[in-house]
């Protein structure tokens, strides 16, 4: 009698991540509250929120480390536990310190490769790819934070997954390393991979991602393309007579608004604005394109709404603020129930 072996179960919906009405309660504490969002293939999505907003819990539910109270989190239409060879589908790096300190970087990757049925050459290939081949024979306990981040990324990439889920991937990297990471993730997205990154480094996120998902108090407050988040193109102008320039712009069918000591013009065509001012005989002291940056949007959406009030959410500096009660509650709840995966 001939028997056939079913092929490994792989996602059928591309590599789309979908979170639908996801809720997680730890006793009376609701870490994630009816959360829904999507992450599309071929795009880098930033997953943002103040500490304690529910990001860690959401990522752990996506990866099958914590069971939801209700709702679903799927990859390619499947629950993580239903994927037969998960390392070939999802690569993740949630904690840069999650290495045995006595093992070398190469040994750590070899253990993972053996578990996933990945050939040994892939280990050295990944060490080379993330730029730490010289440290491969050194014990991971002696690695710097940046080296641990690179090792974590190498581990996530071992199975050549369709999806990458990374928590604070730029932490500990120097400026050159951050630039390398940005280019690396961009390259992967052009290959059609689905990339979800959680980060506090808002300026770096703004330069890296295509889309953003912002949560607060475990709830979605914004999802959209980074380009749309910046709003309509505008320019800021300062001159000697703002009302006169506003009138001249109206004649040219360009709308504008006098705001304090400047004019906000509803176009980013600086040449057009300059020509209008020249014809009106008005000198320009300042003229530049103006857009709403991610930090402005983030704080507008989350300031005063998160349970972790008063916490120093990281802006352009990338320095994590003091952990508040909301973050501690979420972290402690996860730690208390992770063993039972409840």
Average pLDDT rounded to a whole number, residues 113-136 = 92
Of 179, 191, 190, 162, the C-alpha closest to 86 is 162
Average pLDDT rounded to a whole number, residues 57-66 = 96
Average pLDDT rounded to a whole number, residues 124-128 = 95
Q: Tell me, which fold does domain 232-290 have in CATH?
A: Alpha-Beta Plaits (3.30.70)
Strands 262-265 and 44-48: unpaired
pLDDT at 154 over 80: yes
- At the fourth CATH level, the homologous superfamily of domain 17-89+161-228+296-337 is P-loop containing nucleotide triphosphate hydrolases (3.40.50.300)
CA distance 37 to 23: 13
Confidence of residue 333 (pLDDT cuts 50, 70, 90): low
Sheet holding 284-290, edge to edge: 256-259, 262-265, 234-239, 284-290
pLDDT at 330 over 80: no
In the DSSP assignment, the letter for residue 307 is: S
Strands 163-167 and 29-39: unpaired
Q: Kindly report, residue by residue over 247-297, the tens digit of the pLDDT.
A: 999 999 999 999 889 999 999 899 999 999 999 999 999 998 887 788 888
pLDDT for res 296: 83
Average pLDDT rounded to a whole number, residues 292-303 = 84
pTM, two decimal places: 0.77
Q: Which two tokens stand for residue 13?
A: 């919906």
Show the DSSP H helices in the chain as ranges.
55-62, 105-116, 120-129, 145-157, 175-190, 202-208, 226-229, 242-251, 270-279, 294-302, 325-337
The residue among 307 and 132 whose pLDDT is bigger is: 132
pLDDT above 90 covers a percentage of the chain that reads 65
Backbone angles phi, psi at 69, to 5 degrees: -75, -35
pLDDT for res 8: 47
pLDDT for res 215: 96
Average pLDDT rounded to a whole number, residues 131-144 = 92
Apex 49 CA angle, 46 and 53, nearest 5: 135
Average pLDDT rounded to a whole number, residues 294-307 = 78
Q: Kindly report, residue by residue over 156-213, the tens digit of the pLDDT.
A: 999 999 999 999 999 888 999 999 999 999 999 999 999 999 998 898 899 999 999 9
Buried b (16+ CB within 10 A) or exposed e, 204-222: bbbebbbbbbbbbbbbbbb
Quote the mean pLDDT of the chain.
85
pLDDT for res 61: 97
Give, rounded to a whole angstrom, the gap between the first and last alpha carbons of the chain. 43
pLDDT at 13 over 80: no
Helix (H, G, I), strand (E, B) or coil at 271: helix
The residue among 34 and 303 whose pLDDT is bigger is: 34
Torsion sign over Cα 237, 242, 247, 248: negative
In sequence order, the 6+-apart residues with CB closer than 8 A to the CB of 338 are 60, 65, 66
Name the segment(s) of the chain with CATH classification 3.40.50.300.
17-89+161-228+296-337
pLDDT for res 131: 92
Helix (H, G, I), strand (E, B) or coil at 328: helix
Name the segment(s) of the chain with CATH classification 3.30.70.1510.
232-290
Q: Kindly report, residue by residue over 66-122, the tens digit of the pLDDT.
A: 999 999 999 999 999 999 889 999 999 987 667 888 999 999 999 999 988 888 899
Q: Exposed (0-12), middle (13-18) or buried (19+): which is 182, by Cβ within 10 Å?
A: middle
Q: How far is CA 61 from CA 30, 34, 74, 326, in A?
A: 14, 13, 9, 18
């Amino acid at each position: 009698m001939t028997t056939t072996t079913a092929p490994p179960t792989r996602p059928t919906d591309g590599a789309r991540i979908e979170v639908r009405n996801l809720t997680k309660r730890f006793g009376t504490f609701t870490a994630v509250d009816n959360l829904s969002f999507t992450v599309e293939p071929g795009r880098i999505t930033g997953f943002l929120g103040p500490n304690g907003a529910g990001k860690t819990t959401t990522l752990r539910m996506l990866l099958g480390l914590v069971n939801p109270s209700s709702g679903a989190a799927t990859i390619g239409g499947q629950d993580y536990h239903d994927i037969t060879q998960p390392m070939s589908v999802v690569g993740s790096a949630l904690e840069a310190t999650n290495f045995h300190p006595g093992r070398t970087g190469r040994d750590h990757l070899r253990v993972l490769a053996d578990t996933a049925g990945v050939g040994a050459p892939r280990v050295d290939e990944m060490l080379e790819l993330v730029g730490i081949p010289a440290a491969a024979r050194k014990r991971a306990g002696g690695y710097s934070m940046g080296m641990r981040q690179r090792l974590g990324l190498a581990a996530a990439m071992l199975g050549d997954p369709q999806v990458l889920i990374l928590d604070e991937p730029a932490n500990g990297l120097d400026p050159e390393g951050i630039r390398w990471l940005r280019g690396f993730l961009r390259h992967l997205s052009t290959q059609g991979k689905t990339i979800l990154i959680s980060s506090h480094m808002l300026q770096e996120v703004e330069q890296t991602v295509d889309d953003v998902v912002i949560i607060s108090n475990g709830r979605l407050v914004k999802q959209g393309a980074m380009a749309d988040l910046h709003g309509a193109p505008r320019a800021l102008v300062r001159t000697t007579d703002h009302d006169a320039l506003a009138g001249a712009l109206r004649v040219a069918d360009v709308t504008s608004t006098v705001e304090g000591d400047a004019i906000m013009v509803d176009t980013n065509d600086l040449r057009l604005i300059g020509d209008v001012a020249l014809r009106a005989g008005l000198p320009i002291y300042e003229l530049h394109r103006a857009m709403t940056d991610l930090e402005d949007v983030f704080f507008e959406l989350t300031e005063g709404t998160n349970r972790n009030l008063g916490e120093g959410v990281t802006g352009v500096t990338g320095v994590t603020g003091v952990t508040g009660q909301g973050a501690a509650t979420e972290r402690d709840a996860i730690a208390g129930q992770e063993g039972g995966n409840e």
